[in-house]
Structure 1
Amino acid sequence: MRIKPVPEPPADLAELAAFQRAVPLVPGSTDDCCARLRDRRDLPNRQRANDWLAFLRTLGLVRETPRGFVRADAEPTPESVRSGLREGVLFVPEALSLLRAASPAEPVTPATLLAATRESVPRHDRARDPEWERSWRDRADRLLRWLALVDLAAPVERDGDGPADGGRERGYVAGDALSDA
């Protein structure tokens, strides 16, 4: 099963390691771990902390035990993060396929990733969120930036109907790690 939450990507893997270190070495309940993540990483609410906990677990940086969650004895390396993203995050295979076919003239944008996956967005997410397209486009943006963090994607600037910052929207092409795979 692939997870839906995709938190805001950190600036680098050292910052990702700081999120991992915020999870205890001694197993703790979900509530305890979320409170600790909120406090140590200055997250705005429990939901954001819970999303991080699920994401860290998917990346193999946190384990769930019968007694609760615990920090895994693993380093967040580019290879391990790539593997976790590929195997456990919803729409990563689709994003990688689009990136392989992209070019600087026609890069993958959050809008193109949403268009390619729109029909697969869970029905309950569409039903409960009247702004679901914007929410999933924002998720696509975060997902592409995670892929760029570990060199599966490479950013390129393009003209478009993007944000209000002059009509430019960031697009992505295959990164070195995807080209080598």
Structure 2
Amino acid sequence: MQFKPVPEPPADLAAVGSVLAAVPETAGAVADCCGRLVDETRLETREAAETWLVFLRALQLAAAEPAGYRRVPTDPFAADALETESLRRAFRERVYGTEAVLEALADADGPFTDDDAFDAVRDESARRDTRRNRDRDRDRLRRLLEWAVLLEAAERSSDGFCRGRP
């Protein structure tokens, strides 16, 4: 299963741990998981909290159950809880569009810009050809590239993005 929501990436993985720590350990332990994330983190809206919950699920750091979300059994602040290699693998396999973007980066002869990313995956986006959707798709691809940098699947250069670790 692949997931589409991609939140704005934080400055570092420690911030991911902070959001993860706000996810209840037990599904149903809080009546409003999105509200809890807004109250206990720097997230400002329920929509941002919902995006983060789905993204944490994609990274296999949270699980969705009938009673609500719960974090997987781990200490979000432990040194190995946010181990980059496993997060990178989940990101590549479980976040929609990541594989195509990373393959395009690997095939690029030089630095890869946001526009290059959009052009590389345009075939997938062509069916949603309204201006609003193109702008939203470009923004999502920018976030994918920034998450790829955070997870070391890409590197940022002065001219754009380059291939990182597989």
**Separation in structure 2 between the aligned mates of residue 30 and residue 101 of structure 1, nearest angstrom:** 46
SS in 1 for 2:32: helix
**Separation in structure 1 between the aligned mates of residue 125 and residue 46 of structure 2, nearest angstrom:** 24
**Separation in structure 2 between the aligned mates of residue 51 and residue 58 of structure 1, nearest angstrom:** 11
CA RMSD of aligned residues (A): 2.0
Letter in 2 for 1:39: D
- Stretches of structure 2 that go unaligned for 5 or more consecutive residues are 75-80
- Stretches of structure 1 that go unaligned for 5 or more consecutive residues are 159-170
Aligned to 2:71: 71
1:121-150: CA deviations, max 9, x gaps?
Answer: 384x656xx422121111111110111111
SS in 2 for 1:131: helix
Aligned to 1:19: 19
**Separation in structure 2 between the aligned mates of residue 24 and residue 48 of structure 1, nearest angstrom:** 17
Structure 1 residue 151 corresponds to structure 2 residue 148 = no
Alignment map for 1:26-105 (pairs within 5 Å)? 26-28=26-28, 32-74=32-74, 75-103=81-109
C-alpha distance 126-19 of structure 1, shift in aligned 2 (>3 A): farther
SS in 2 for 1:8: coil
Aligned pair partner of 1:174 in 160, 163, 166? 163
**Separation in structure 1 between the aligned mates of residue 126 and residue 49 of structure 2, nearest angstrom:** 22
Please tell me whether the aligned partners of residues 114 and 142 of structure 2 are also in contact (alpha carbons under 8 angstroms): yes
**Separation in structure 2 between the aligned mates of residue 144 and residue 114 of structure 1, nearest angstrom:** 11
**Separation in structure 1 between the aligned mates of residue 105 and residue 30 of structure 2, nearest angstrom:** 35
Relative to the length of structure 2, the TM-score reads 0.87
Moved over 6 A (4+): none
**Separation in structure 2 between the aligned mates of residue 15 and residue 76 of structure 1, nearest angstrom:** 11
**Separation in structure 2 between the aligned mates of residue 78 and residue 114 of structure 1, nearest angstrom:** 26
Relative to the length of structure 1, the TM-score reads 0.80
